[in-house]
Amino acid sequence: MRKSLATLVPLLTVLALAVGACGGGNDNNNASGGNQKGGAAPNTGQTGKKGGTLTVLSLGDVDSLDPGYWYYQYDYMALGLPAQRELYSWKPQDNFVTPDIAVAAPQVSDGGKTLTIKIKPNIRYSPPLQNRMVKSADIKYAIERAFLPQVGNGYVGSYYTSIEGVKDYQDGKAKEISGIQTPDDTTLVLKLTAPSGVLATGVALALPATIPVPKDYAQKYDEAKQSTYGEHQVFTGPYMIPNDASGKLTGYTSGKNITLVRNPSWDAKTDFRPAYLDKVIFSGGNDITVGSRKILSGQSLLSGDFAAPPTTLLKQMVTQYKSQTSILPSQSIRFIALNTKVKPFDNINVRKAVGAVVNREALRTTRGGPAIGVVATHFIPPGMPGFDDAGGNAGPSGLDWNSKPAGDLQLAMNYMKKAGYSSGKYSGPPVLMVGDNQPPASKTGEALQAQLESLGFKLNYRQVQHPTMLSKFCGVPKAAVAICPNLGWGKDFFDSQSMIDPIFNGKNIAPVNNANYAQVDDPAFNKAMDSATQLTDAAERATAWADIDKQVTQGAYIIPWLWDNQVNFASKNVNGVVNKFNSSWDIAFTSLK
Amino acid sequence: MIQYIVRRVLWMIALLFLVSAITFFIFYALPSADPAVLRAGKSPNPQLVEQIRHQLGLDKPLYEQYFDYMKNLLTKGDFGYSYQNNISVRTQIFQRLPATISLAVGAAILWLTVGILVGIISSTRPRSLIDRVSMGGALIAISAPVYFLGLVVLYLFADDIGLIKLFPGAGSYVPLSQDAGQWFGSLIMPWCVLAAAFAAFYARLLRSQMIDTMHEDYIRTARAKGLSERTVIFHHGVRAAITPIVTAAGLDIGVLLGGAILTETVFNIPGVGRLAYDSIINSDLPMIQGTVLLGAFFIVTANLIVDVAYAFVDPRVRY
């Protein structure tokens, strides 16, 4: 679920990362996250009325039909959580995984290098494979196919490469991944080259790469230049997209709608999901203003990928429609990256000066003000393991340049003097800043431009579309972009490795699609991160990643400025349940009143 | 005439080739996003990005990629697969085309009817109250952005969020083949909104043409011959004044058949316009190519039809 926040905002994109807002607007409300503000009391979905049809209004569509590709919020909301089952999954109120296809947590042995997972013997596929049970070999193939370029999975390269034999498989030297073993139909064994905390704790095994895929059925679809298995997939969850006798989906029209109906093969006794609804329709292509109003004033409607409702509606939500609105921290962050390989940001005092001059409250205002989230002071967001250890809302102590949410020009000038600029202002050549060209992100960039200019910076400021900004500028070290103001990151799961490692580990610096935007490559950090990655105890992991977060903050490589909230809203007759893992509605727990 | 049509069709094909080539090379010349990176998700390793690049043929020279694309298009009618969702471009375009055609053709009928009627009435009573009201209204309609007008109409008349619940609101579109009644009802507001500015423009255009025409000598002659005013206006006045309307209508309909993005967005009509917009945002080259070619096809075809129609509308024009 890692996501680049600003992508989502323009009408498309949109996958929605949280922006949102409200409820009292007290910045201190979010201490350890997970608290629901402004809206109705948290609903666990343990009870609900059976039956009915629900319609989810959204701007766009799922990123792909292929479970091997799913990574984003709306993918999980529409398909991942209600229609498929992974080895492990997330109950709405939990920030730890629950066995789903698996019987129990992975059995860890061999010093953390062997994981044994028993799977339930009685889970069946949807038609046309209704007579077939899920086997461990299906999960092995699901993981293997996720490495295929025709599937294009975006995370197995981060979390599954410690499985033995992955490299040979990726290089085409082996037809299977040798470290994934299936001694019998209900046992899956993962042999690792080194201990992996995210696999041992099960959080990375709750990703859609573990959704079972029957090899003999799917392989023909995977042989195409781009896999078409998604259009023919079989389901294991309580719901399915209707299909024909050959398995081709008939209940999906790209960009327009996805229909979910009950999966006749699903057995409630094997699942923790109550699945109250009979039918769910995901209707795409909505205008956000019209769609939001329809939901609030209509019946049986739910918000889909609306990142942030229009400001005027937001105000109404926290007053007039409070009981229909849910606002939660989404464990995501917005930040400014300062490229340490480009002058003058190779100088830590210049970076600190920028940290001091940035008026984070003003930047937040460009997205809607205090309602949309909390001013960020470090990287791990509220609600994530390690947040409090890393400094909580106040941030690490002793960092004066990081403790001025409204900015402090005089302090910034002092740091510029320490950096060798005798006047306290930058006097070098113009620096390149590349940001989004669509509001509200473009407004954020423009506000930052004015703030930096007060410190003497002359900016060569280019505004481009968000995907272009990432794939041609900020994510390409060769482009030598000095400042990227419109970056964001969200958790993949409740483990802070998914927040810190991709952004700050030097080994992740890549020629394209580089997420280490500041190009931080400190051997000590890298070593600390590699060690933290191998910890298999959740509490130890939280502490280790919090320590790294503190060090990262001290280095001022990035200037964090917002921890987002996610706003979800529903019609009055909907008993909506938000899943904290995905920060959006959990269809399998939601019901009609 | 046949020779002329054949010549124009050949030009049309050449033009479509040119459009496809320009679209293709502009995509790579401008700093659009890297399709392989987009396809690979947000955090793939470089090896995966390169594998995808190879898989999609994006590592081949540009001319070779273009040649492959055109070969598949001409030999198999294959527009390729979307980089975004792996679904056939042709399938997606043809799924959405009926909605766009419904919207564009219905709106065109409405704006031509209203525009021509208002234009004639205004021109025959210049500076009268009805003329001033009509032209004032036209000015407002031209000035109102489609997006704004769409929202206002929905807030006033939609059966879900409107103050006066009259017509089906946004997202109510269904194909004609599924339910003709609902199809018609769901398009009433989109047709009106889309047609408003066009009708206003056409009314003003026809009014000015008609005022000029009605002062021509042959109109005076027609009146001197004792023809009724109705015959003078419709048989002699309108027929001569309407040629610019035919030209404009042909092009406007052609453009709209390529997609009416704003109207489709506000009313959530799953048409080609939204598809084109989304494909541009997502740097989805096969989809961009498909939608641009479709738009170009409609425009050049409309142009051809307009030119041929000229000969029938205006007897002075012969090829």
Residues B132-161: tens digit of each pLDDT: 999 999 999 999 889 899 999 999 999 999
Searching chain A, which residue's CA lies closest to the CA of residue B153?
A: A290
Q: Exposed/middle/buried for A437, CB within 10 Å: 0-12, 13-18, 19+?
A: middle
Structure confidence at residue A34 (pLDDT) = 34
Searching chain B, which residue's CA lies closest to the CA of residue A63?
A: B85
The verdict on a CB contact (< 8 Å) between B275 and A69 is no
Residue B124 belongs to some domain of the structure: yes
Buried b (16+ CB within 10 A) or exposed e, A139-176: bbbbbbbbbbbbbbbbbbbbbbebbbbbeebbeeeeee
The verdict on a CB contact (< 8 Å) between B33 and A283 is no
Searching chain A, which residue's CA lies closest to the CA of residue B89?
A: A254
Is B29 in the same domain as B119?
A: no
pTM metric for this prediction: 0.84
Interface of A with B in 78-137 (CB under 8 A): none
Residue B85 belongs to some domain of the structure: no
Query: Does residue A223 belong to the interface with chain B, where contact is any CB pair within 8 Å?
Result: no
Residue B27 belongs to some domain of the structure: yes
The Cα–Cα gap between B255 and B299 comes to 6
Q: Over A122-142, what HEC string results?
A: CCECCCCCCCCECCHHHHHHH
Residue B87 belongs to some domain of the structure: no
Is B113 in the same domain as B55?
A: no
The verdict on a CB contact (< 8 Å) between B46 and A512 is yes
Is B200 in the same domain as B264?
A: yes
Is B128 in the same domain as B31?
A: no
Is B65 in the same domain as B134?
A: no
Domain end among B47, B76, B105: B76
Is B148 in the same domain as B10?
A: no
Q: Give 3-state DSSP helix, strand, coil % of chain B, rounded to 5.
A: 75, 0, 25
The Cα–Cα gap between A576 and A334 comes to 27
Contacts of A269 (CB under 8 A, 6+ apart): none
Domain end among B45, B76, B107: B76
All residues of chain A having their beta carbon less than 8 Å from the beta carbon of residue B85 are 61-65, 254
Is B189 in the same domain as B220?
A: yes
Interface of B with A in 94-113 (CB under 8 A): 95-96
- Distance from B291 to chain A by nearest Cα, in Å? 15
Searching chain A, which residue's CA lies closest to the CA of residue B154?
A: A290
Structure confidence at residue A316 (pLDDT) = 84
Is B285 in the same domain as B231?
A: yes
Is B207 in the same domain as B257?
A: yes
The Cα–Cα gap between A235 and A211 comes to 9
Residue B177 belongs to some domain of the structure: yes
Task: List the single residue in B31, B39, B170 with the smallest CB-CB distance to A152.
Answer: B39
Residue B107 belongs to some domain of the structure: yes
The Cα–Cα gap between A77 and A73 comes to 6
Residues B265-299: tens digit of each pLDDT: 899 999 999 899 888 877 788 899 899 999 999 98
CA A307 vs CA A170, A228, A469, B152, B279: distances in Å: 36, 29, 20, 23, 20
- The sign of the dihedral angle between the CA atoms of A15, A18, A20, A22 is positive
Structure confidence at residue B306 (pLDDT) = 85
Q: Is the pLDDT of residue B67 over 80?
A: yes
For chain A, the first-to-last Cα distance in angstroms comes to 30
Strand A431-436 relative to strand A459-464: parallel, antiparallel, unpaired? parallel
The Cα–Cα gap between B67 and A442 comes to 38
Searching chain A, which residue's CA lies closest to the CA of residue B47?
A: A170
pLDDT digits (tens), chain A, 593 positions: 444 443 333 322 333 333 322 323 333 333 333 334 444 456 778 889 999 999 999 998 998 999 999 998 999 999 999 999 999 999 999 999 999 999 999 999 999 999 999 999 999 999 999 999 999 999 999 999 999 988 989 899 889 999 999 999 999 999 999 999 999 999 999 999 999 999 999 999 999 999 999 999 999 999 988 899 999 999 999 999 999 999 999 999 888 899 999 999 999 999 999 999 999 999 998 988 899 999 999 999 999 998 777 777 877 887 889 899 998 899 999 999 999 999 999 999 999 999 999 999 999 988 877 878 999 999 999 999 999 999 999 999 999 999 999 999 999 999 999 999 999 999 999 999 999 998 889 999 999 999 999 999 999 999 998 888 988 899 999 999 999 999 999 999 999 999 999 999 999 898 888 999 999 999 999 999 999 999 999 999 999 999 999 999 999 999 999 999 998 999 999 999 999 999 999 999 999 99
Task: List the single residue in B33, B269, B277 with the smallest CB-CB distance to A472.
Answer: B33
| Residues linked to residue A575 through DSSP beta bridges, in sequence order | A591
Query: Does residue A253 belong to the interface with chain B, where contact is any CB pair within 8 Å?
Result: yes
3-class DSSP state for residue A101? coil
> Cis omega (within 30 of 0) on the bond before A128?
yes
Is B128 in the same domain as B253?
A: yes
CATH number at residue B269: 1.10.3720.10
All residues of chain A having their beta carbon less than 8 Å from the beta carbon of residue B100 are none
Residue B86 belongs to some domain of the structure: no
Q: How many CB pairs under 8 A join A and B?
A: 173
The Cα–Cα gap between A569 and A326 comes to 6
| Cβ neighbours, 10 Å, residue A314 | 25
Structure confidence at residue A2 (pLDDT) = 42
For residue B162, what is the enclosing H or E element? none
The answer to whether the beta carbons of residues A385 and A541 sit under 8 Å apart is yes
Task: List the single residue in A65, A157, A254 with the smallest CB-CB distance to B44.
Answer: A157
The rounded percent of chain B whose pLDDT value lies above 90 is 49
Structure confidence at residue B31 (pLDDT) = 62
The Cα–Cα gap between A538 and A389 comes to 14
The answer to whether the beta carbons of residues B12 and B301 sit under 8 Å apart is yes
Higher pLDDT, residue B255 or A452: A452
Q: Which residue in A462, A471, A493, A503 has the most chain B C-beta atoms within 10 A of its own C-beta, making it the best mutation to test that interface?
A: A471
Backbone angles phi and psi of A194, in degrees to 5: -155, 155
Is B149 in the same domain as B183?
A: yes
Residue B82 belongs to some domain of the structure: no
The verdict on a CB contact (< 8 Å) between B43 and A511 is no
Interface of B with A in 120-179 (CB under 8 A): 151, 154-155, 160-161, 169-171
Least confident of A13-17, A458-462, B22-26, B98-102: A13-17
Is B178 in the same domain as B231?
A: yes
The verdict on a CB contact (< 8 Å) between B45 and A10 is no
For residue A592, what is the enclosing H or E element? strand A591-592
Query: Does residue B52 belong to the interface with chain A, where contact is any CB pair within 8 Å?
Result: yes
Report the number of distinct structural domains present in chain B.
2
The Cα–Cα gap between B122 and B131 comes to 4
All residues of chain B having their beta carbon less than 8 Å from the beta carbon of residue A511 are 46
The Cα–Cα gap between B56 and B286 comes to 11
Residues A458-483: tens digit of each pLDDT: 999 999 988 889 888 999 999 999 99
Q: Is the ipTM, as predicted for this complex, more than 0.90?
A: no
DSSP-derived secondary structure for B54-117 = HHTTTTS-HHHHHHHHHHHHHHH----B-TTT--BHHHHHHHHHHHHHHHHHHHHHHHHHHHHH
The Cα–Cα gap between A208 and A90 comes to 12
Buried b (16+ CB within 10 A) or exposed e, A264-275: ebbeeebbebbb
The answer to whether the beta carbons of residues B72 and B88 sit under 8 Å apart is no
Q: What is the mean pLDDT of residues B290-319?
A: 81
Searching chain A, which residue's CA lies closest to the CA of residue B30?
A: A468
- Distance from A475 to chain B by nearest Cα, in Å? 10
Q: Is the pLDDT of residue B84 over 80?
A: no
Task: List the single residue in A230, A283, A468 with the smallest CB-CB distance to B171.
Answer: A283
What is the domain range of residue B221?
95-313
Strand A431-436 relative to strand A325-338: parallel, antiparallel, unpaired? unpaired
Interface of A with B in 474-493 (CB under 8 A): 475
Residues A411-428: tens digit of each pLDDT: 999 999 999 999 999 999
Domain end among B43, B76, B109: B76
| Cβ neighbours, 10 Å, residue A223 | 11
